[in-house]
Structure 1
Amino acid sequence: MNTGTGGDETLLLAGLAACFVAVALLVVAVASLSRAGSAPDWARRIDRYRASRDDDEAPGERPHPARRALAAGEWTVRSGEMEDRVAHRLDQAGMSLRPHEWVLVRVGVTLVLAVAVTLLSGAAFGGLLGALLGWLGTRAYLASRTRRRLTAFSDQLPGALALVAGSLRSGFTVSQALERLARQDLQPLGAEMSRAVAETRLGASVEDALDKVADRMVCPDLSWIVLAVRIQREVGGNLAEVIDTTVETMRERTRLRRQIRALSAEGRLTAYVLIALPVVLAALMMLMRPDYMRPLFTEPLGVLMLVAGVVALLVGWVWMSRVIKVEA
């Protein structure tokens, strides 16, 4: 009895310590996010080229724990050669966090979920499952935010191109039409066009700036417009008419895509319910009857059954997502 009580106390102390570390990491990440969000865009761009240690810090002074955590995250990102890839994903999602700050957020969430699941299940395997859930969950959040932003950009593009075509008929140049478009209160399209206008003012051509926007937002329709602008500059022609034709094609495709999405809504809802049902039921059972669920984490046969269930759930999710997905 004493041995078991001592083991429980040790597990509780370890869980509390891990919770403290995770909360500290989350506080540092949230502070970094608020600092990055409050700074203007030009200040954030200049801050990327600053050293990780501030110049006003005394040589003999010990660095702040928050700076230590950020410096460790920055070193991890740069040593793994994934800084550019993470920065590109954050840029697509419209997040002002820097790569090492995002890694810090993921680590904090992973630790919190690992400790929470460990304390609820009373087994180390539960901590591993919680850590996996936290790491994959943050990745899914970033992917979901990126997908929503790219979809919003694609939905706003036809109306924006119609505005560009009207500006061209009024006698504006392509650069002036883009500047007019950048002043519109459209997000995320307005922000992306503002970046394109800023690049043209720094010496880049309109085509190259729009090409970067098309690559960043994964928008083939905008790539077609850029190709039309290049051809118009070389051989001439009515660019406004070409843009109008492209806009009409894009709107027809959007209507068809929405119609397909409406027709497949029942299948998607069924897939969501079937996937969420075992997860929600397992979470409720862990909260209401933890003793009943503990053998799944402590017994070898239970661990094997849990792994088999998770694998079957993932296979079912992949299969159903392929069935309900219709390309338009």
Structure 2
Amino acid sequence: MSHALALLSFAILLLAGAVELWWGSSARLRQRRSAAHVEAQLTTGPSSPVNTVKASTTRGLETLPTDALLLRADLPTGLRVPVLVAAPCMALALAGWWRLHSAWAMPMVLGLLGCMVWLWLRSRIEQHRRRLLRQLPDFLDGMVRLTSIGNSLPMAFQSTAATVQSPLRTVLDRTLLSVRAGHDLDRALHLASRPYHLHEFELLHVVLGTGMRIGGRADQILQRMSDFMRDLAQARQELQATTSETRLSAWVLGLLPVAVAVGMTMFNPAFFKPMFTEPLGHRLLLIALALELTGGFILYRMTKSL
């Protein structure tokens, strides 16, 4: 049985790799064709239709929900990451089924692994968000310096973007690509930053649009935005340092029953086998799941209220 399970897991991994290679090659081919088409439209001269270039670039900046989630987590888009995550999860679910000799083990293992993957993605999203917000005030300061000596907002944006490092550089490069295709700067920034769901980018795109269409001292507004972002980041760090012990206690209380149950089930299957084979055990599992979800929700609301 163990040899058959190992062969099945190996076959699943090979199938996942083949799917990733096939999908990745076709996606790369479509990306090269789209980039070549946009470049050809940009270099054909005044006779080329600008609306066609705008539509092509807008389609290039449009992202699927999964791609937007991967962008927020600073991961490559496409099916590579989902396949690489799903294949080990399926293998572990099959191992749990073989270990417990019950089909109930598969949804439980998949649910636990799904929670772990969600926590991992949430951690990466939060880290990526912090890096973006840490770079944004310095970028605004660079724009303020250039606009205060007479440069226009688009010129200051383009010149300052050349000095920015990743990950903010990725957003700015996507913005400049859309600007070269004919979009206004504020619209281009809105399209490029939409997958990240950051209010700071929304505020910046409003300020840029107002400054280019109406005028005024946009450099002063950008300077105040930069100072406000730094003060807000410092306040968030102080709040997180103050509530870190409470949030860690909530995580431990929420995950400890699940970790203990899974560990005892995997190391001593005979002890938990009636829970998966008897009708009363099924009801107890459902009750335990409901209590765990209720307790997790209460702990979440308590930590959010701090």
Q: What TM-score does the superposition give when structure 1 sets the normalisation length? A: 0.73
Q: Secondary structure at the match of 1:285?
A: helix
Asked if the contact 1:114/1:130 (under 8 Å) is kept, the reply is yes
Alignment counterpart, residue 256 of structure 1, candidates 223, 231, 235: 235
Q: 1:246: Cα distance to partner?
A: 1.4
| Aligned counterpart, 2:10 | 20
Alignment counterpart, residue 208 of structure 2, candidates 229, 233, 237: 229
Q: Which moved more, 1:236-245 or 1:290-299?
A: 290-299
| Aligned counterpart, 1:79 | none
Distance in 2 between residues matched to 1:191 and 1:137, nearest whole Å: 28
Distance in 1 between residues matched to 2:104 and 2:6, nearest whole Å: 17
| Aligned counterpart, 1:178 | 157
Alignment counterpart, residue 182 of structure 2, candidates 186, 197, 203: 203
Question: Are 1:97 and 2:77 an aligned pair?
Answer: yes
CA-based RMSD of the aligned residues comes to 3.1
Q: Secondary structure at the match of 2:104?
A: helix
Q: 1:91: Cα distance to partner?
A: 3.1
Deviations, residues 191-215 of structure 1 (Å, cap 9, x unaligned): 1101111111111111111122342
| Aligned counterpart, 1:303 | 282
Q: 1:185: Cα distance to partner?
A: 4.8
Deviations, residues 133-188 of structure 1 (Å, cap 9, x unaligned): 34454444444433332332223212221121122224333223323333335322
Alignment counterpart, residue 154 of structure 1, candidates 118, 130, 133: 133
Q: Which moved more, 1:295-304 or 1:25-34?
A: 25-34
Distance in 2 between residues matched to 1:249 and 1:34, nearest whole Å: 42
Are the structure 2 counterparts of residues 177 and 45 from structure 1 closer, same or farther at C-alpha, using a change threshold of 3 Å? farther
Question: Are 1:292 and 2:271 an aligned pair?
Answer: yes
Are the structure 2 counterparts of residues 13 and 131 from structure 1 closer, same or farther at C-alpha, using a change threshold of 3 Å? farther
Deviations, residues 283-313 of structure 1 (Å, cap 9, x unaligned): 3323432221222222222222222222221
Q: 1:248: Cα distance to partner?
A: 1.3
| Aligned counterpart, 2:147 | 168
Identify the structure with bigger relative contact order (alpha carbons < 8 Å, sequence gap 6+): 2
Question: Are 1:119 and 2:105 an aligned pair?
Answer: no
Q: 1:315: Cα distance to partner?
A: 1.8
Q: Secondary structure at the match of 2:189?
A: helix
Deviations, residues 211-268 of structure 1 (Å, cap 9, x unaligned): 2234222122222222222222233222111111111122222222222211111110
Are the structure 2 counterparts of residues 266 and 139 from structure 1 closer, same or farther at C-alpha, using a change threshold of 3 Å? closer
Residue 91 of structure 1 aligns with an amino acid whose one-letter code is: L
Distance in 2 between residues matched to 1:309 and 1:13, nearest whole Å: 34
Q: Secondary structure at the match of 1:264?
A: helix
Are the structure 2 counterparts of residues 167 and 207 from structure 1 closer, same or farther at C-alpha, using a change threshold of 3 Å? same
Distance in 2 between residues matched to 1:114 and 1:249, nearest whole Å: 48
Alignment counterpart, residue 322 of structure 1, candidates 288, 301, 304: 301
Distance in 1 between residues matched to 2:22 and 2:246, nearest whole Å: 41
Are the structure 2 counterparts of residues 235 and 220 from structure 1 closer, same or farther at C-alpha, using a change threshold of 3 Å? same
Q: 1:190: Cα distance to partner?
A: 1.0
Q: Which moved more, 1:181-190 or 1:103-112?
A: 103-112
Q: Secondary structure at the match of 1:19?
A: helix
Residue 306 of structure 1 aligns with an amino acid whose one-letter code is: L
Distance in 2 between residues matched to 1:181 and 1:14, nearest whole Å: 58
In the alignment, structure 2 segments of 5+ residues that lack a partner are: 36-62
Are the structure 2 counterparts of residues 32 and 145 from structure 1 closer, same or farther at C-alpha, using a change threshold of 3 Å? farther
Alignment counterpart, residue 31 of structure 2, candidates 33, 45, 54: 45
Asked if the contact 1:113/1:133 (under 8 Å) is kept, the reply is no
Residue 22 of structure 1 aligns with an amino acid whose one-letter code is: I
Asked if the contact 1:106/1:134 (under 8 Å) is kept, the reply is no
| Aligned counterpart, 2:50 | none
Percent identity over the alignment is 21
Distance in 2 between residues matched to 1:256 and 1:326, nearest whole Å: 16
Distance in 1 between residues matched to 2:70 and 2:34, nearest whole Å: 14
Q: What TM-score does the superposition give when structure 2 sets the normalisation length? A: 0.78
Distance in 2 between residues matched to 1:185 and 1:159, nearest whole Å: 9
Deviations, residues 99-118 of structure 1 (Å, cap 9, x unaligned): x5455445423421211211
